[in-house]
Structure 1
C-alpha cells in the first residue's frame, strides 16, 4: 500500500500545483489580478471621503483641485462636486456613492461615478480556488483511473482465461516495469496460474497413470478368461492368476484412495493419538530386515530410543514403511540400508539411505509425484505411489520430506516429524 500511496499523493500534489499554475497564467494573460475590483472600489471610496473632507474643511476650490488630480490617468477616478439647494437644511450623508457636506454656509454634494467591472473581473477571484480544485481533481482522477484500469483490465483478461480453463495465461510481463502493489498482485496471479497449470498437468498425468496401471491387470484378467474359454482344464491355474490380479487392482485402488484423502485439504484435521514413533519405526525395520535376508541385505538402525508425538498412527506407519521398503526394494543385493534418527528442537529427523542406483539430481523432486519411479529405476512391483503418500502424510502432520543423493551413491530420504505439538490436527476421540 505504501508505494501506491506515494504515487497517488505525488500525482494529486503535482496536478494541484499544475492547475494553480495554469490559472495564474490565464490571469496574467488576460491581465486579471486577484481582488483587483476590491482594491479599486476601496480606492474610489477613499477618494470620495477625501474629497468630502477637503470640501468641508478647505472649501470648494481644494475639493475641485483634488477631483481634477484624481481624474488623471492611468487609474482615473471620476468625482463631481455640485452645489445643491438644501431642503430643510444640508444633510450630512454617508451614501456609498455620494456625500453631502456643508462648506462656507452652502450645501454641496460630492458624487462618485464608479467604474463598472466585467463579470470575469468580478467572479474570477472567487472562482480561482474552485477551478483549481476542480481541475486538479479531474486531472488526478484521470491519471489514477488510467494508472489502475490498465492492470485491472489485464487481470480481467487473465481471470477470464482461467475461467475458460487456460492456465497458461501470464500477465506479470504486461505491467510495464511497475513495482507497486498492483504489480505484486499481477505476479501473485501468475504464481496462482502456474500452480493451477501444474495441478491440471498433475491431474491429467494422474488420470493417465491410473488408467495405465489399471489396464495391465485388467488385460491379464481378460487373457486368463480367454484361456479358460479355450481350455477349461486350466481353471485352477487361471483362478489363482485372476485372484492375484484382483488383489493387485484392489491394492492400487486403496493406494489411490489414501492419496486422494491426504491431498484433500477440505477435510477436517486428522485424528491423532499419542504414540512413540520410534516403536513404530522399530517394528517396520524388524519386518524389513527379515524380508531383506533373502537378498542378503542388511538393514541397520541407530539413533534415539524414544520420541513421543501426537500423530495419526496409521498414516505415520505407512509413511515410514513406504520409505524403508522402497529403500530395500531398490538397493543392490548384498548391500546395506541405513536408518538413522536424531532429535533436534523437538523434531524427529529420520534419514533412510540405500546403496541402490540412486536418482539423478534433476528427478529428486519428481519421485514424490504419484506413479513416479525415476527414469533409471528397475521396476520391482508396486505402483509408484509410496513416496507420494509418504510426502502427503508427513506434511499433513506439519513435517516435511526431502530426498538427496547419498554418499554411497544411492538415495537418501529424510523425514522430519514434530513432537507433542499436534498443531492443526484433530485429536482422536476416545
Structure 2
C-alpha cells in the first residue's frame, strides 16, 4: 500500500511538473523557428528562456533520480576536508541565475575549521535550498547565509524574509513529493528537501526548517566536526 501511494504521488508530480518546462521549451522553440525576422534582443530573450526551462527540467530529473538511487542503495560518500566558505561560494555561484536580483548576504567567520564532507553533495543541498527560496520569495527579498561552530558541530543557516511557511508543521515538507503549494504554477516535484535530508543524514548531521518572525523561513544545517589532519610544516635545509 505504501509503494502504491508513492507511485501514485510520483505519477501525479511527473504529469504536472515535468510537463510544464517541456511545454514551455517546445513553445519557445516553435516561436524561434516560425518567426524568421525577430530582433536580436528578442531572439536572445527566447534563447535565455529556453535555457532557464531546460535547467529547471534538469534539476527536477536529477532530484528524482538521485533520491530513487539513495533510497534503493543508500548514500555513498566521497569525503574530503573542505572549507565551508568555499562550498557555500560554489553553491551561490551555481545558483546566481536563480537568485537574481535578490540581495544575498553571507556571514561566515574566516577561522571556521575544515569539514570532512562530500562537497558536491553538500553543494547540492544548498542549491536545492536556494532554489526553494527563489521559488517562494519575491525578487525584492533578501537571503542571508551565516554559519559558525558550536560544541562538536558546525551550523549553517539559510534564511529569507519571504512570506513564510505554507504549512503549520515544517517537518512534512521534508517528505517525498510534498510541496508547499500542491497546485501551483511553480515547478517542482517536491523532492528537493527530501533529498537534502537524505544527504545530511548520511553525513551524520541534521537539517530543520522553521518560520521567522514577523515573516520568512530559515533552514538550519548541522554537521559534525571532526579532527582535521595536521599540516606538517616544511623544513628548509641549508
**TM-score w.r.t. structure 1 length?**
0.43
Candidates 82, 91, 95, aligned match of 1:284: 91
Distance 1:377 1:351 in 2: 28
Deviation by residue 1:113-139 (Cα, 9 ceiling, x = unmatched): xxxxxxxxxxxxxxxxxxxxxxxxxxx
Larger Rg: 1
Candidates 47, 61, 69, aligned match of 1:253: 61
Distance 2:63 2:150 in 1: 32
C-alpha deviation, 1:213, in angstroms: 2.1
C-alpha deviation, 1:357, in angstroms: 0.8
1:420 paired with 2:221, answer: no
* CA shift in 2, pair 1:223/1:338, >3 Å: closer
1:210 paired with 2:21, answer: no
Unaligned stretches of 5+ residues in structure 2: 229-238
Distance 1:411 1:288 in 2: 18
1:201 paired with 2:5, answer: yes
C-alpha deviation, 1:376, in angstroms: 8.7
Deviation by residue 1:300-326 (Cα, 9 ceiling, x = unmatched): 324563232221111011112322343
Matches within 5 A, 1:16-415: 167=1, 197=2, 200-220=4-24, 233-234=34-35, 240=47, 248-264=56-72, 266-267=73-74, 269-285=76-92, 292=99, 294-295=101-102, 297-303=103-109, 305-375=111-181, 381=187, 383-415=189-221
Residue pair 2:18, 2:57 contacting (<8 A) in 1 also: yes
The RMSD of aligned alpha carbons is 3.8
Residue pair 1:404, 1:412 contacting (<8 A) in 2 also: yes
Distance 2:179 2:112 in 1: 32
Which secondary structure state, in structure 1, belongs to the residue aligned with residue 215 of structure 2? coil
C-alpha deviation, 1:234, in angstroms: 3.3
Distance 1:340 1:331 in 2: 19
Q: How many aligned positions are there?
A: 220
**TM-score w.r.t. structure 2 length?**
0.71
